[in-house]
Amino acid sequence: MLLEEIIIYGVILLFCLLIVWFYMRKLKVESQHVEAKIEKAKQDGTWEPVSLHPFIDLGTCIKSGACIEACPEKDILGIVNGRATLVNASQCIGHGACFHACPVEAISLVIGTEKRGVELPHVNENFETNVPGIFIAGELGGMGLIKNSIEQGEAAVESIVKSGFKKDPSLYDLIIIGAGPAGISATLTAQKHGLNFLTLDQDSLGGTVFNFPRYKLVMTAPVNLPMYGKIHLYDTSKSELLDLWHAALRKNNITQIRENTKVEGITNEGNHFCVATLKGEFFNTKNVLLAIGRRGSPRKLGIPGEGLENVAYRLLEPENITGKKVVVVGGGDSAIEAALSLMDQNQVVLSYRSEAFSRLKPKNREKIDQAAQTGAIQVMLQSNLTRIEPDHVKMTVGPEAADQVMANDLVYIFAGGELPTEFLKKAGVQISKRHGYTVKKHK
């Protein structure tokens, strides 16, 4: 009997050891797989974060994997040796799903790293800058994306209303600059409180959402849109989002939005502000809410001919462009996606100043490599446009910077955006560079 019990216990122990061995082997294989992804991310330039991203407290992490399951993106996070780690951090879009999912609050959201600082304006808990009467909400303050921006746009206007400013019938109560998620939420809230307001946007309704690098937009939790109700955007297209904005504005009879009106500057006139536009208009207001994106205006190349009608910084309705000789300038996802969308019906040249692409989404890298190999797109690395004419462009190509002339109909420039730093400084708003700045979010 004793021998039988020993054998049974021995078998059970062996079985348990086998389970543990297989489990540990599985963890090791998974860790090696994630480590390989991290090495590739470092080679591709997608490992280091560039904006809002998760910071993992390894001393608190319990390797539940909840953060990875919750993230709607792919390969932003992984598990190595039983601990969560960043993989393709630069592709994080900062919606905070991992933060909300972590059962032990081992994740915080930060902006900037020890090496890479991010310039942010000074904003207090009421979204007011160091200049009384100038407020900031949304992406410019460091918290972009839809849910965060909607909540901040509403909260900022609520703060303005509670500030008890003295109304003046000769002045606007509020000028909202930007008609993205934060600006639309602020617009609806201003209408709710009966403010005398005006909303201005340098482009069109929707703002920076339509420069967002993904066709589909994801919100991890519902959010209340002022004067409209609760919305939950899951796998929502940009056009569907635009329809939602229009529906909310129509429902509340809002017409105080002026598109294609770029603000040139804000001056403090003592008891009010003067908002000047590039059209030569001047609007006097008690308060200003900046709900603009961090990119501000498109970055220009600074070359002759850049102001011609055949030059653009955004691609709209590529399906309507056919039979053209097109040059796309840039090496980021926006440039790659523009070139890919044009290649079937046009002759496309992709010009990029560096010798290799970096920080591309994996699918974009795969597609552009394939398009280059098949000749669907002529990829010209180490090339720089030097002059644009109505029917041709001039550029330098290769390490020797050899001059080249190329027939051309259209030029699309995707060289990134210029931070509105000088615009803010001229308005008196203080800006400082933050390294690893923790963003406060509520569970």
Asked if residue 228 and residue 136 are part of one domain, the reply reads yes
pLDDT score at 213: 44
Asked if residue 281 and residue 195 are part of one domain, the reply reads yes
In angstroms, the CA 161 to CA 169 distance is 16
What is the separation, in whole angstroms, between the first and last Cα of the chain?
58
Specify if 5 maps to a domain: no
**Residue 98 CB-density burial (10 A; 0-12 exposed, 13-18 middle, 19+ buried):** buried
Specify if 147 maps to a domain: yes
Asked if residue 123 and residue 53 are part of one domain, the reply reads no
Asked if residue 269 and residue 352 are part of one domain, the reply reads no
pLDDT score at 196: 96
Asked if residue 261 and residue 150 are part of one domain, the reply reads yes
Q: Other CB atoms closer than 10 Å to residue 21's CB: what's the count?
A: 10
Which tens digits make up the pLDDT trace of 77-88? 888 887 888 888
pLDDT score at 142: 61
Q: Which of 81, 111, 141 is the last residue of a domain?
A: 111
Which tens digits make up the pLDDT trace of 107-151? 888 877 767 777 778 888 889 999 999 999 987 766 556 777 888
Q: Which stretches of the chain score pLDDT less than 50? A: 213-216, 442
Note down the domain range covering 384: 311-416
The pTM of the full predicted model, rounded to 2 decimals, is 0.67
Q: Tell me, what CATH number does 428's domain have? A: 3.50.50.60
Tokens matching residue 251: 């429902």
Asked if residue 346 and residue 268 are part of one domain, the reply reads no
Asked if residue 280 and residue 179 are part of one domain, the reply reads yes
Domain tally, the chain = 3
In angstroms, the CA 437 to CA 432 distance is 11
Specify if 262 maps to a domain: yes
Residues 6+ apart with CB under 8 A from 14: none
In angstroms, the CA 40 to CA 34 distance is 10
